[in-house]
Chains A and B, each alone.
Chain A
Amino acid sequence: MSEEAVHRALGMTDAEYDSLLAILGRDPRPAELAMYSVMWSEHCSYKSSRNHLSRFPSEAPWVVVGPGENAGVVDLGDGWLAALRIESHNHPSFVEPYQGAATGVGGILRDVFTMGARPIALWDQIRFGPLDIPKNRYLFAGVVAGIAGYGNAVGVPTVGGEIAFDPCYSGNPLVNVMCLGVMKREQLVLGTAGEAGSIAVLLGKPTGRDGIGGASVLASASFDEESGTKRPSVQVGDPFEEKKLIEACLELYEKGLVVGVQDLGAAGLSCATSEPAARAGMGMDVDLDAVHVRESGMTAPELLMSESQERMMAFVAPEQVEAVLSVAERWEIDARVVGKVTSGDILRIRHDGELVAEVPAASLTESAPRYDRPISQPEWLEETWNNVLDHSEAPDVALTILRLLDDPSIASAEWAYQQYDHMLFLNTVVGPGGDGTLLRLKGTDKGLAVSTDGNGRLCLLDPFRGGERLVYEAALNVAVTGANPMALVDNLNFGNPEKPEVMWQFRQCIEGISAACEHLGVPVVGGNVSFYNETDGIDIHPTPVVGLLGKAEPIPLRPPRIDAATDDMELWLFGPDVIDLAGSSFEWVLHGHLGGRPTAADPSVASAVLDLAIRLAGSGMTPVLHDISDGGLAVAVAEVCIRSGVGAELEVSDWRDLFSEAPHRMIAGVLPANAESIQSLAQDAGVTATKLGTFGGEHIEIRTPDGEHVVALATATSTYHDAIPRRMG
């Protein structure tokens, strides 16, 4: 291979290679070229997105650590902090679903416990092509098994998430995972190398040849039919090692033995040396011969690029090294002194006694290329907006409800979450299968609620409105558990950024998410960008996923639940009466139609409904409170009926009300004695409250002007529960 072909094979463009030559003033050594190729990859450097990410509002008085560190950190009060982070492992999961998903879990946990926090919960947002294609069943089963296999064994509960299916993900599944950790304020640790003289200690598993070039080769390129040959770039996870690493690191923090910590994820040692040194404004001497390895004969570039899992780099004052090594020994993990922080800014790396790299540490991070990629609105967009489905004829309502309940994106996800330990740590108050998850924070009266939401169809039809509505939906999911939204992380899954239309979608989604966050006063404390989600030139729908953290204080004693309806309750609807079927499940599942323009969010209505939801949840007067989203009111009511084992009777003035997915709406189950108080709460909040009917019986009976529509509860229940298992066989 000729000299210049090497950088191309490593995923570096000719122009990037030229700027590397300018930084070094000479040809790079092989190890240096390897380091720059991974550190300047899209995955590590955010070179196409960085200019746009600064748009997100990221400040609030309770933000302790904003974007740019391993995880965002917010102040929960009373000396408690929460750390949160979301990441994608889309490409590895397509190549090898079990290990791709498993190492995604491992990586996000390290991001969180790197900050000093104990990871207490995980949420997975996974998207696949339709299950009638065998390959998609294989991917779905493999990803779920990987999440379960790693998460359960590492001992962190998976308490919620999202599962969705759409043909656009057939060649490119999305596997996102969010983690929440908590800590006392004094345990906060940053990813800094500290002062000159600090010692770098590499903890955890030996380094091997797995995952070499994962960030540049896999995560930053598109797929084609040859993708199977990329399997050696996928890492292999070992949850047992990670569990020991978590406990060892938490003990190090508790004893105050470390100055800073950086996990080894994408770009491995290249990143874990250069980033902490650059953050500290320091240099570092690193000895690769001291690195404990799994196989002999590894070259310097391989050692620097390896993405072997379950490794951490700790920076330690010289007098604490012995103590650190003995903590590692107690937890039965390997630990080696591999380097020393130096004044100046040069990262020097030796291997086999020879100097293999000598570069400014910050040039690997801060001098990474930045692209202002061309942006243009897709030409097809307006035509799509005008492509409106004709709704003049009423459908068979009962059949429509059953078709929607049978849609795997709407149906019960129990098949997946029964495989996840979602109860460990005794914090799960409201677990998977409802709206937001509600966890208690032991030793306090605080509750932590999280909702993760994405909606590719909505964001395809209008990325600004879609992005905005995602935030309001997540906020409402959190609010119905009684929590106030306080911080957001985002995972931006998009197609090829070299296409101006994709960059336009990207920018618009960021604008929409930002607008909603600004209105709600919710800071964006971290995020992740995954580009090149395309296969054979076809991009996925723009699919940003938001993860919203809320705090309930005090935690409601009897928080609303989706499964708490009884036959003595009234059924109420809160929120505006708006019909919006653009991008809805009704149009897509029943008619295969994707067109029209979704309604914009209404910020003042959103705030009013959120306030009301939080009040109602805290009041204990609404045992059931459920956000209306995919499938509309009809599906929301059916979900409550199925989960509670009780029927319902209701009336609407237009069949389209049943399937509208307009934002800012929720239903409630209310005891008649409380109906009056609830109405006056709604009135005070300025939210329309409508009594739709009552719960009870063994049928879901709906009256519209077109007639009466009846679905047997038993049929609805079996349809809802069997939709996924029946397809998975």
Chain B
Amino acid sequence: MVFPGSNCEHDVVHALQLLGADAEIVWHRETDLAGIDAVVLPGGFAHGDALRTGAIARFSPVMETVKAMAESGAPVLGICNGFQILCEAGLLSGALIANRDLAFICRMVEVEVIDTNTVLTAAATVGQRLRIPLNSYEGNWVDPSETGRHVIRYTDDPNGSQHQAAAVANSAGNVVGIMPHPERATEALLGSEDGRVLLEGFLGSVSANV
């Protein structure tokens, strides 16, 4: 899914292809996603973060179809800005606000998998620690309703996120939002391959769902 202002779409496609998947970029005005089994909403600044992150993107034509797919159980993953859009669209609980220290954070962080019953964490093990780059300003997840399932947590507390949540899932586990970027951690040359287990799990869920 690409909105005007998205910028991680090529990276996601690169990483998924590296893992053997067929991936294509779909423009936000599309409504027909026939033939597509799973959706990734990439990071970036959809619609320039106007109003609030994800606030405009949730109204993009493609989101109706994404919602329908999510309800039918298809795997849907939002990374960074994609996570923010899923929250705005009501597919995930909670909202993402500015980091505790009010500064953009771009660095490698360590996270721990705490729940493997989701499309993103299916191939990981509980307690598994992963090094994945974080890259966001609004990465601080708040969920006053306490209904969101936090499935991956930061081992330190970079941004003030509730329960130190780095990734959150819906109750069915087929919709997941993650703040760090697993697609930035799939090659040793770039410093970490720890994102593979997440994306491989996601791709595995896709084949399982088809």
Contact = CB atoms under 8 A, between A and B. Distances in A.
B104 A148 contact: yes
B187 A153 contact: no
Interface in A226-249: 238-241, 243-244
Q: How large is the interface on B (under 10, 10 to 19, 20 to 34, 35 or more residues)?
A: 20 to 34
Contacts of A384: none
Q: List the 5 closest pairs (A to B, CB-CB), nearest first.
A: A240-B48, A155-B7, A419-B104, A153-B45, A426-B11
Contact of A419 (B5, B106, B133, B184): B106
Contacts of B187: 426
Given A239-B45, A425-B11, A426-B15, A244 B5 contact: yes
Contact of A155 (B15, B44, B107): B44
Which of A420, A426, A429, A440: most chain B Cβ within 10 A?
Answer: A426
Nearest to A414: B107
Contacts of A422: 106
B4 A424 contact: no
Contacts of B6: 155
Given A238-B48, A424-B135, 6 more contacts: A240-B47, A240-B49, A240-B50, A418-B103, A421-B104, A440-B189
Given A155-B45, A240-B48, A425 B106 contact: no
A147 to B, nearest CB: 10
Contacts of A332: 4
Nearest to B48: A240
A424 B7 contact: yes
A152 B139 CA distance: 14
B4 A429 contact: no
Given A153-B45, A238-B48, A421 B135 contact: yes
A98 to B, nearest CB: 13
B88 interface: no
Nearest to B11: A426
B30 to A, nearest CB: 12
22 contacts: A148-B104, A152-B106, A153-B45, A153-B48, A155-B8, A155-B44, A238-B48, A240-B5, A241-B48, A243-B4, A243-B5, A243-B48, A244-B4, A418-B104, A419-B106, A420-B106, A422-B106, A423-B106, A423-B181, A424-B8, A426-B190, A442-B14
Contacts of A239: 45, 48
A429 B5 CA distance: 25
Main secondary structure of the interface of B (DSSP, over half): mixed
Interface of B: 4-8, 10-11, 14-15, 27, 44-45, 47-50, 103-107, 133, 135, 137, 181, 183-184, 187, 189-190
A240 B45 contact: yes
A428 interface: yes
A331 interface: yes
Contacts of A426: 11, 14-15, 183-184, 187, 190
Contacts of A419: 103-106
A330 B49 CA distance: 19
Nearest to B49: A153
Interface string A425-445: 110110000000000101000
Nearest to A331: B4
Contacts of B48: 153, 238-241, 243
Contacts of A154: 7
A690 to B, nearest CB: 31
A557 interface: yes
Contacts of A244: 4-5
A132 B14 CA distance: 46
Contact of B104 (A152, A240, A428): A152
Contact of A418 (B7, B10, B105): B105
